[in-house]
C-alpha cells in the first residue's frame, strides 16, 4: 500500500492584496465568491469585500498615527446580533478551569486581567499583506526575529495581558470550563460551559486568537508585517517538528514534548503507532485527502456542527478538528507529564510556542478548503446562519486593549491582512486505488452483525457490523454514527473503514478508509460524558470500490485506538446525503 506516486507542483505566484489565484486542480474549475455578509453600522463605515484603494498620502498619515497598530479602527457601540449566538464571556466572572485526564482533576487559574472598557474591533485597512511562511523553509533572519519576539513576550510583566503565559491562558480559559455561557441580560448561565471546540466555532476562534497573537509579536519587535509560520504537516517535507523549535537555548523551545516525536520521527496524523516512515507519509496524505475532500457531505462536516447559546458543548467537530488537528496535539505532548502537557492538553497547549505554528496550518486548511477545494466536491462552503456570523469572543490586542470580535469579521484571511506561502499540496489528488469487494461482506452476512443486535456498544475492541444502504447503486449517501457518548476526560480516537478487504488497520492508504473521530481531554460540562455524532460522506468511497452497486449492505469496521473505552455508540446508519446548507447566492 505504501507508495508515493503523485506530488504535483504549484506555480510561482505573486501576492497582491486580493483573493489569491490558487493553482487549478486537474479537470476542475474553481468558482470563488465572497461569503462575507454586508454589515450595517451607523458609527463607522465598514470595509468592502475587496481591498481598498490606498492613497499613498493617507497611508503615510495612517502609519504616522499608529498605522496598523492604531486604535482608530475600534468603536465602542455594540452591533446588532441575532437571538441566540454564543456571546463573548464576562471576564470578571471567569472561574477556575478544570483539566481532566484519566479521572484526575487539576484546578488551574487561567483567568485574564479584567477591565471595564471593551471596544468592538474593526479590521484595519490592509496596506501591506503579511505572508505566513512554511516553518521548514524560513531563513535564519526570520528565526532570529521570531525568537526575539517570543523572548520579549515572555519578558513582559506577568499582569500584562500580552505576556506569553497570559496569551497561553486564553486557550485554557475558553477550552477548559473557566467561562460560562452568557444568558441574555441575566449574565452567565452556571449550568452551561463555554467551549470553542467541537463545533462551528473552532476555526473562527483560533483564527482570531492567532491574529492578535501575531500582531502582539509584531508590535514587540516594531515590525507590523511580521507573520507567524505554519507547520506544514500536510506535506512530506514538513512532516517532522520544524527545526527552529528544537534549540534548547531558544525562546521557541519547550521541554514538555514527546521525546519519541523528535526528528527524524514522522508525524502520525492517524495515531496508528506504526514506525515505518513511508507508511506514515502515505497514511498522512490519505488522511488529508479524506479530511479536506472525500469525507465531508456538507459545510458542517468540515466546519463543525451548530453551537448556539443554551446548547451543551460538543455538538460535533468538523473533519480537521477531529482528525489531524487533534492527533498532532497528542503526538507532540509529553507522555511523561501528568496530563500530557504541554501540547497534549487544552489547558497547557498555548505554553508551547509550537502550538501557534501548528494552528497556523490548521487555519491554512480552512483557507485552502474555502477557496481551493473544487466546488463540485462540496457545493456550498458558506454558513449564513446569523447565530454563526454574530458569535463573539474577547481578546486583548497588541495595545493591551480588550476588544470584542465576531465570526463574520474573520471569514476572509486576506481582509485580515495575511496569506500563506504557496507550497505543494500532494494530498490534493491522493485518491486511493480502486478496491474489489464482496466476498468479505458475504461472509459477514450473519444475524450477529446486524446493527439492532450490536448497538448501543462500548467501543473497546474492533467491531464489524453490516449496515443497510438507502438503495442499490452508487448513491449520495452518508454514514452517521449517532448518540455517541464520549468521555471528554480522555484522549479518544477511532477509525472507520467500509468493506475493508485485508483488515490491516495500520494502513490507511486504501479505498476502505472513510474517516476518524478524535478528541483531546477537556472540560465540557458538569460531568465528563457528553453526547455527539459524526457524519461521513460515502459517495467517493463507493466510486473507489468495484462491485458495490448491487450490494444492499456495506460492512463497517470501527477500530478504537489509544484510550478506546471512552466511547459508546448508540447507533449507526446510512442516510441520503443532505441538501446544501444554504441556497445559492442570487
Q: Which residues are catalytic?
A: 171, 197, 206, 325, 329, 346, 359
Is 248 exposed, middle or buried (CB count within 10 Å of its CB: 0-12, 13-18, 19+)?
exposed
Write the CA distances from 496 to 67, 129, 557, 583, integer angstroms.
51, 41, 6, 31
H helix runs in 318-460, sequence order: 326-332, 354-371, 386-389, 439-443, 451-454
Please give the DSSP secondary-structure letter assigned to residue 230: B
**Which residues make Cβ contacts (< 8 Å) with residue 33, sequence separation at least 6?**
585
Q: For the chain, how big is the Rg over CA atoms in Å?
A: 23
Please give the Cα distance from 437 to 562 (Å, whole number). Answer: 29
SS3 488: coil
- Spatial distance between the Cα atoms of 533 and 491, rounded to a whole number of angstroms: 17
**253, 277, 278: which is closest to 332 by C-alpha?**
253
Q: Where are the alpha helices (DSSP H) in 477-581?
A: 539-543
Strand pairing partners for 130?
Answer: 418
User: In 3D, which of 403, 348, 411 has the Cα closest to residue 167?
Assistant: 348
Contact between 468 and 580 (Cβ < 8 Å): no
* Pairwise CA distance, residues 509 & 409, whole Å: 38
473 three-class SS: coil
Quick count: other Cβ atoms within 10 Å of Cβ 128? 13
Under 8 Å between Cβ of 169 and 96: no
Cβ(62)–Cβ(127) under 8 Å? yes
**Distance between CA 404 and CA 122 in Å, rounded?**
9
Chain centroid to CA 558: how far? 23
Residue 123, sorted as left (phi over 0), alpha (psi -120 to 50) or beta, turns out to be beta
- The CA distance from 555 to 548, in Å, is 11
Residue 441: partners with Cβ closer than 8 Å, 6 or more residues away:
466, 499, 551, 553, 554, 555
What's the 3-state SS for 375-411?
A: CCCCCCCCCCCHHHHCCEEEEECCCCCEEEEEHHHHC
Distance between CA atoms of residues 329 and 349, nearest Å? 8
Amino acid at each position: 500500500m505504501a507508495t508515493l506516486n503523485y506530488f504535483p507542483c504549484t506555480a510561482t505566484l505573486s501576492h497582491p492584496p486580493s483573493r489569491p489565484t490558487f493553482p487549478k486542480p486537474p479537470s476542475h474549475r474553481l468558482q470563488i465568491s465572497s461569503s462575507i455578509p454586508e454589515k450595517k453600522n451607523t458609527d463607522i463605515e465598514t470595509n468592502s469585500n475587496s481591498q481598498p484603494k490606498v492613497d499613498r498620502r493617507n497611508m503615510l498619515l495612517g502609519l504616522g498615527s499608529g498605522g496598523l497598530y492604531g486604535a482608530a479602527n475600534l468603536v465602542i457601540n455594540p452591533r446588532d446580533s441575532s437571538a441566540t449566538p454564543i456571546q463573548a464571556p464576562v471576564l470578571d466572572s471567569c472561574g477556575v478551569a478544570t483539566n481532566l485526564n484519566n479521572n484526575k482533576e487539576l484546578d488551574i487559574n487561567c483567568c485574564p486581567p479584567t477591565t471595564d472598557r471593551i471596544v468592538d474591533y474593526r479590521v484595519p485597512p490592509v496596506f501591506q499583506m503579511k505572508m505566513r511562511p512554511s516553518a521548514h523553509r524560513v531563513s535564519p533572519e526570520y528565526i532570529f526575529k521570531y525568537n526575539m519576539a517570543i523572548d520579549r513576550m515572555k519578558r513582559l510583566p506577568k499582569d500584562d495581558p500580552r505576556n506569553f503565559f497570559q496569551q497561553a491562558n486564553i486557550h485554557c480559559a475558553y477550552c477548559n470550563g473557566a467561562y460560562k455561557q452568557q444568558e441574555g441580560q441575566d449574565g452567565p448561565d452556571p449550568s452551561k460551559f463555554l467551549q470553542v471546540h467541537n463545533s462551528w466555532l473552532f476555526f473562527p476562534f483560533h483564527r482570531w486568537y492567532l491574529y492578535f497573537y501575531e500582531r502582539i509579536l509584531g508590535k514587540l519587535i516594531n515590525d507590523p508585517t511580521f507573520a507567524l509560520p505554519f507547520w506544514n504537516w500536510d506535506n512530506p517535507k514538513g512532516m517532522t517538528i520544524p527545526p527552529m523549535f528544537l534549540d534548547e537555548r531558544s525562546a521557541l523551545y519547550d521541554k514538555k514534548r514527546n521525546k519519541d516525536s523528535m526528528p527524524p520521527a514522522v508525524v502520525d496524523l492517524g495515531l496508528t503507532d506504526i514506525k515505518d516512515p513511508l507508511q506514515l507519509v502515505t497514511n498522512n496524505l490519505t488522511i488529508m485527502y479524506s479530511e479536506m475532500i472525500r469525507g465531508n457531505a456538507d459545510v458542517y462536516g468540515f466546519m463543525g456542527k451548530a453551537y448556539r447559546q443554551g446548547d451543551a458543548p460538543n455538538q460535533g467537530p468538523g473533519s480537521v478538528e477531529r482528525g489531524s488537528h487533534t492527533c498532532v496535539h497528542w503526538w507532540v505532548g509529553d507522555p511523561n507529564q501528568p496530563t500530557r502537557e504541554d501540547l497534549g492538553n487544552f489547558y497547557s497547549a498555548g505554553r508551547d510556542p509550537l502550538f501557534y505554528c501548528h494552528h497556523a496550518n490548521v487555519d491554512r486548511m480552512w483557507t485552502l478548503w474555502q477557496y481551493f477545494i473544487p466546488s463540485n466536491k462540496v457545493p456550498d462552503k458558506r454558513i449564513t446562519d446569523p447565530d454563526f456570523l454574530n458569535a463573539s469572543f474577547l481578546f486583548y490586542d497588541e495595545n493591551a486593549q480588550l476588544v470584542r470580535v465576531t465570526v463574520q469579521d474573520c471569514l476572509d484571511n486576506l481582509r485580515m491582512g495575511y496569506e500563506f506561502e504557496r507550497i505543494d499540496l500532494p494530498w490534493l489528488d491522493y485518491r486511493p486505488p480502486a478496491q474489489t469487494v464482496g466476498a468479505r461482506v458475504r461472509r459477514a452476512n450473519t444475524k450477529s452483525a446486524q446493527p439492532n443486535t450490536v448497538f448501543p456498544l462500548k467501543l473497546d475492541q474492533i467491531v464489524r457490523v453490516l449496515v443497510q444502504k438507502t438503495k442499490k447503486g452508487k448513491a449520495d449517501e452518508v454514514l452517521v454514527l449517532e448518540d455517541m457518548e464520549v468521555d471528554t476526560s480522555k484522549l479518544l480516537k477511532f477509525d472507520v473503514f467500509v468493506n475493508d478487504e485485508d483488515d490491516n488497520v495500520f494502513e490507511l492508504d486504501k479505498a476502505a478508509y472513510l474517516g476518524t473521530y478524535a478528541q483531546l481531554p477537556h472540560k465540557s460540562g458538569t460531568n465528563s460524558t457528553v453526547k455527539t455524532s459524526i457524519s461521513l460522506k460515502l459517495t467517493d468511497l463507493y466510486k473507489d470500490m468495484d462491485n458495490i452497486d448491487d450490494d444492499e449492505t456495506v460492512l463497517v469496521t470501527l477500530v478504537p485506538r489509544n484510550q478506546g473505552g471512552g466511547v459508546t455508540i448508540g447507533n449507526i446508519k446510512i442516510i441520503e446525503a443532505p441538501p446544501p446548507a444554504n441556497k445559492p447566492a442570487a
